[in-house]
A and B are shown apart, each in its own frame.
Chain A
Amino acid sequence: MKILVCISNVPDTTSKINFIDENSAFDNQGITYIINPNDEFGLTRAIWLQQKEGAIITVATVGEASCEAILRKCLAIGADQAIRIDTTPKDGYHVATQLAAYAEKESFDLIITGRESIDYNGGMVGGMLATFLKIPYLANCIHFEKEDETIHLQREIDGGKEILKGNLPLVIGAQKGLVEEKDLIIPNMRGIMQARQKPLDVLAPVEARQSSLIKSYEKPPAKGPVKLVDANNIDQLIDLLQNEANAL
């Protein structure tokens, strides 16, 4: 089985989000980058398939050379090879187009993307990539089991889950549930050493347009101070929620 896991390089979840150049660009001063958490759940699931079925895992990212650190981490976790498509990601459409151009030539059996990235929250790369490749897509995938040629899947939906079956090739949108938090793999020394020897290839981007452009950013308005209510005066809280906040 050939698996592609698409990896996004995102600011660590504790990052303070600030903007520069008159709010037209993200300020990456002091920001540590990590593997997008949803992608990491997907990568971990791929590693299990590799252990059970002997899959070959390629991780790919669209981005500049600074993204190579997280690709090396993916290799240390257990991916077999890494691809960096050398261009600045412009929007989800642009990223999906680049990945599709690469994946088209490789005929992967399974392509895993994160449900969404935690920076731009576009939530579109998986669905668009699948559509470009004419392969079915399953969003919010929380279960993937291969039994002979049949794939058993689950999708998280509002208020429950959907149980499905299908066949490869497939594109899935990974999130927590596909594997658990405790299953995430912390690279060991051996993994880190091996990662240095594994191939990390840089590919030239294809000609692709972007479908949108970010004009500016803004931060949520500063919050007023909290109104504290005494623990012995619950009636006051109810009154405030009912009459001041109109929330009950």
Chain B
Amino acid sequence: MSILVYIETQESEIKKSSLEVASYGRAIADAKGTSLIAVCFGLQDTSLLSQYGVDKVFNISTANDIHFNAERYSNTLVQIATKETADFIIVSSSANGRFLGPITAAKYEATYFSNVIGLPLSYEPVEVKRSCFTNKAFNHSISKNNKIVLSLSSNSFGVYEKPSEAIQTSIEHVESSSTLEVISIEKSTDKVSIADADIVVSGGRGLKGPENWYLIENLASVLGAATACSKPVSDLGWRPHSEHVGQTGKPVASNLYIAVGVSGAIQHLAGINSSKIKVVINNDPEAPFFKAADYGIVGDAFEVIPELTSKLKALKEA
């Protein structure tokens, strides 16, 4: 028995969502009295994993192929899981994590659960709470199988340190038979992505036009936040589609979500509802967003945002 976690790297560093996955894996390993095994690809320094309770690390060389490869990565996970008789394989809710999850589950003949919130509610049988109806509801799902692959909803467990001694191991390079070949990666910005961000600042049609987006960008930059937008804003071409959040766009599960000039339509709220703290700035006191928010200012974004930005800036610099 063992618990396997897929540790994702970005520019050879461990992603924060993967530290959450390691912490989560540790908690499950403790509950089941078993060990925690991390699988990573091309990680420069694995010592950090010893701060998060990992007992054993498989660090697979990426010398032959530096890009993420779902076929090869899932084969690798399954090979290690089989060898270590893993009963859980855990991935984050990153784009790569969600890509790997179902493929790995199909190959490992395991049950797959996506969007899992917090620790399993029971282990025999495994029961989890997961979000559904794009965050409008949750369900409690029971596995009919004792092998589980799950993707953990971001910020639903937290990152916890726990010292351990991670033993290094490796395996042979696993081949990929996939005909897909990555040619390059294009980064959209140097900023933090919506999936990785603690804070997201989002703009709606109330900002009137793309030329006013400096308001959103400046506020985001002071907060180290990702920028997002409502659907019509991306459909109008004011902002790239990668920023569209909501039911038909990206889900947001940040600690803080600040919505500026967004009305709060049901489809928008559905996608951002699992953010912990929601703030709305809107000049219409009847905007539905006020019903979903924790804090709100009824006011003109063109006045409120510059002031908020400069005050936060002063605070950060103090």
Report Cα–Cα, A226/B279, bound state, in Å: 9
Report Cα–Cα, A93/B294, bound state, in Å: 38
Contact B295 A245 (CB under 8 A): yes
**With A241-B279, A245-B294, A248-B223 in contact, do A163 and B133 touch (Cβ < 8 Å)?**
no
Number of residues in A with C-beta < 8 Å to the partner?
Answer: 81
Report Cα–Cα, A182/B184, bound state, in Å: 28
* A111 within 8 A of partner (CB): no
Contact B235 A182 (CB under 8 A): yes
Contact A238 B70 (CB under 8 A): no
Contact A228 B297 (CB under 8 A): yes
Q: How far is the CB of A80 from chain B (nearest CB, A)?
A: 26
**With A136-B178, A229-B297, A234-B307 in contact, do A128 and B235 touch (Cβ < 8 Å)?**
no
Nearest chain-B residue to A223 (Cβ)? B292
Nearest chain-A residue to B314 (Cβ)? A238
In B217-260, the 8 Å CB interface with A consists of 223, 231, 235, 241-242, 244, 247-249, 255-256
Contact B138 A158 (CB under 8 A): no
In A207-248, the 8 Å CB interface with B consists of 209-220, 223-224, 226-231, 234-235, 237-238, 240-242, 245, 247-248
Contact A160 B188 (CB under 8 A): yes
* B170 within 8 A of partner (CB): no
Q: How far is the CB of A173 from chain B (nearest CB, A)?
A: 8
Nearest chain-A residue to B240 (Cβ)? A177
Contact A139 B106 (CB under 8 A): no
Q: How far is the CB of B61 from chain A (nearest CB, A)?
A: 21
Contacts of A123 in B (CB 8 A): 98, 101-102, 114
Nearest chain-A residue to B188 (Cβ)? A160
Report Cα–Cα, A190/B64, bound state, in Å: 54
Contacts of B304 in A (CB 8 A): 231, 234
In A5-40, the 8 Å CB interface with B consists of 11, 13-14, 17, 19, 37-38
Chain B, residues 181-199, CB within 8 Å of chain A (1/0): the string is 1111111110111111001
Contacts of A116 in B (CB 8 A): 114
Pick from A118, A124, A161: contact of B114, CB below 8 A.
A124
Q: How far is the CB of B187 from chain A (nearest CB, A)?
A: 4
Contact A128 B102 (CB under 8 A): yes
Which of B111, B186, B248, B298 has most A Cβ within 10 Å?
B248
Chain B, residues 81-100, CB within 8 Å of chain A (1/0): the string is 00000000000001110110
> What is the interface residue range for chain B against chain A?
35 or more
Pick from A158, A167, A215, A218: contact of B196, CB below 8 A.
A158
**With A211-B144, A226-B296, A237-B297 in contact, do A165 and B183 touch (Cβ < 8 Å)?**
yes
Contact B235 A180 (CB under 8 A): yes
Pick from B180, B231, B294: contact of A166, CB below 8 A.
B180
Q: How far is the CB of A36 from chain B (nearest CB, A)?
A: 10
Contacts of A161 in B (CB 8 A): 185-186, 188, 242
Which of B143, B186, B315 has most A Cβ within 10 Å?
B186
Contact A17 B136 (CB under 8 A): yes
Q: How far is the CB of A116 from chain B (nearest CB, A)?
A: 8
Interface residues, chain B, CB within 8 Å of chain A? 67-68, 70-71, 94-96, 98-99, 101-103, 105-107, 110-115, 127, 131-145, 178-189, 191-196, 199, 223, 231, 235, 241-242, 244, 247-249, 255-256, 266-267, 270, 273, 276-277, 279-280, 290-300, 303-304, 307-308, 311-312, 315
List the 5 closest pairs (A to B, CB-CB), nearest first.
A231-B299, A159-B193, A127-B102, A124-B102, A131-B106
Interface residues, chain A, CB within 8 Å of chain B? 11, 13-14, 17, 19, 37-38, 92-93, 96, 116, 118-128, 130-132, 136-140, 142, 153, 155-167, 170, 176-177, 180-182, 209-220, 223-224, 226-231, 234-235, 237-238, 240-242, 245, 247-248
29 contacts between A and B (CB under 8 A): A13-B247, A13-B270, A118-B133, A119-B133, A121-B114, A127-B101, A131-B102, A131-B107, A136-B71, A137-B70, A139-B95, A139-B99, A142-B241, A157-B68, A157-B95, A166-B181, A167-B179, A176-B249, A211-B144, A212-B142, A215-B139, A217-B139, A227-B294, A230-B297, A231-B297, A231-B304, A238-B308, A247-B255, A248-B312
